Amino acid sequence: MQTIYQGISHLGEALEGASKILLVCDSSFPFLNIKDDIERMTVPYTVFDQFTPNPLYEDVCKGVECFQNAHCDTILAVGGGSSLDVAKCIKLYCKMAKDKLYLDQECADTGVRLIAIPTTAGTGSESTRYAVIYHEGKKQSVTHESIIPDVAILEPKVLKTLPLYQKKCTMMDAFCQGIESWWSVNSTDASRKLSKEAVETVMRWWREYIFENTDASAEAVMHAANLAGQAICITQTTAPHAFSYKITSMYQMPHGHAVAVGLPVIWEYMVDHLDRCIDARGAAYLAGVFHEIAQAMGCDNPIDAIEKFRRMMADMDLKQPVAVDRDAELDILSNSVNPVRLKNNPVELSNNVIKILYDYILF
């Protein structure tokens, strides 16, 4: 069971029992307003920050070596998704054979304690079993129950100094995760409760968080992102995430922005094609879910909710990707979607439909 602390003041409690810490952090660490709190740790620590924003397998190997050479027994990850992904993989791989590719070996719980302090409110990675690294140019999704951090410390004041565009993108990632987990074919009573609170919280606080930068809104949005992360850990992501990855790489668009440009287009298609529902609970159930999501967004029906989502995007000036060679780009995009990820989506999307939807997403 994961322990979640509210505030950096609980760091000492989280570190109880540790004898040597590997601090995994990115280049933003020197500028964090919690840096002094972390550097005052009474437990000895070694810093590992030699990884790229989209972490490579080789980066993780260096981290494993650093962890072992320093004789650490605890990992403290501080940063955005990349820091947390690297830390999770170090934990998972630190006791595997060195003469074989870690990605090819059977995963097991290493027993290494992992503490996560997120510095953005977006992925909810501090409460998920997922990590992403790249090997030989290809994205590798790493999944194991044991890499859910043992402890997450949510400190909202780290959000106060985030660049505005980063705040928008990460918040929309959390918002989309809340919506996607709600309609996922894998949803449960527990995940839907988490999704509902996440969506309602973002709707209540997003404008104040983005445009007024208040303490209360930062705390609320960080809480919402964590709830959405917990929900997506149960359900996995659906079509908007599956569509987003190639948008990110082709148009250099941050992940949260890339997910958000696709979600209303895909949602609208699903509302109009409930006859293609693949959720075993049936089309009537799915229609009810869409209505519940709309209500959580303060709307009477899904169509109004979709339009409200689009107005949010417009108010934040989050634009659609712009095509240069439309036909060629549509071919690349439509062939990029991983069909495995679409199995979680409640409405079937054929190859032809995928291409049509991308055409609506592109400007």
pLDDT tens per residue across span 106-133: 999 999 999 999 999 988 999 999 999 9
Q: Which residues of the chain have pLDDT under 70?
A: none
Specify the pairing of strand 21-25 against strand 113-118: unpaired
Per-residue confidence (pLDDT) for residue 276, from 0 to 100: 98
How far apart CA 82 and CA 79 sit, in angstroms, is 7
DSSP 320: P
How far apart CA 198 and CA 200 sit, in angstroms, is 6
CA dihedral sign of residues 255, 236, 139, 55: positive
- 134 SS3 class: strand
- At residue 54, φ and ψ (nearest 5 deg) are -110, 90
Q: Is-contact 86 61, C-beta < 8 A?
A: no
Q: What are the extents of the domains in the chain?
A: 3-157, 163-361
The H or E element that residue 324 is part of is none
Name 209's Cβ contacts closer than 8 Å, sequence gap at least 6: 159, 167, 171, 217, 218, 220, 221
Residue 43 CA from chain centroid, whole number: 30
How far apart CA 32 and CA 263 sit, in angstroms, is 32
Fold equal for 3-157 and 163-361: no
How far apart CA 281 and CA 301 sit, in angstroms, is 20
The H or E element that residue 308 is part of is helix 302-315
Q: Is-contact 262 244, C-beta < 8 A?
A: yes
> Would you tell me how many other CB atoms lie within 10 Å of the CB of residue 158?
23
Per-residue confidence (pLDDT) for residue 145, from 0 to 100: 95
Q: Which CATH architecture has domain 3-157?
A: 3-Layer(aba) Sandwich (3.40)
Q: Is-contact 291 185, C-beta < 8 A?
A: no
Per-residue confidence (pLDDT) for residue 280, from 0 to 100: 97
Sheet holding 113-118, edge to edge: 3-6, 151-154, 113-118, 74-79, 21-25, 45-48
| Cα dihedral: 199, 219, 88, 71 (round 10) | -170
Q: Which CATH architecture has domain 163-361?
A: Up-down Bundle (1.20)
The residue among 301, 28, 7 whose CA lies nearest residue 161 is: 28
> Would you tell me how many other CB atoms lie within 10 Å of the CB of residue 193?
14
Per-residue confidence (pLDDT) for residue 338, from 0 to 100: 84
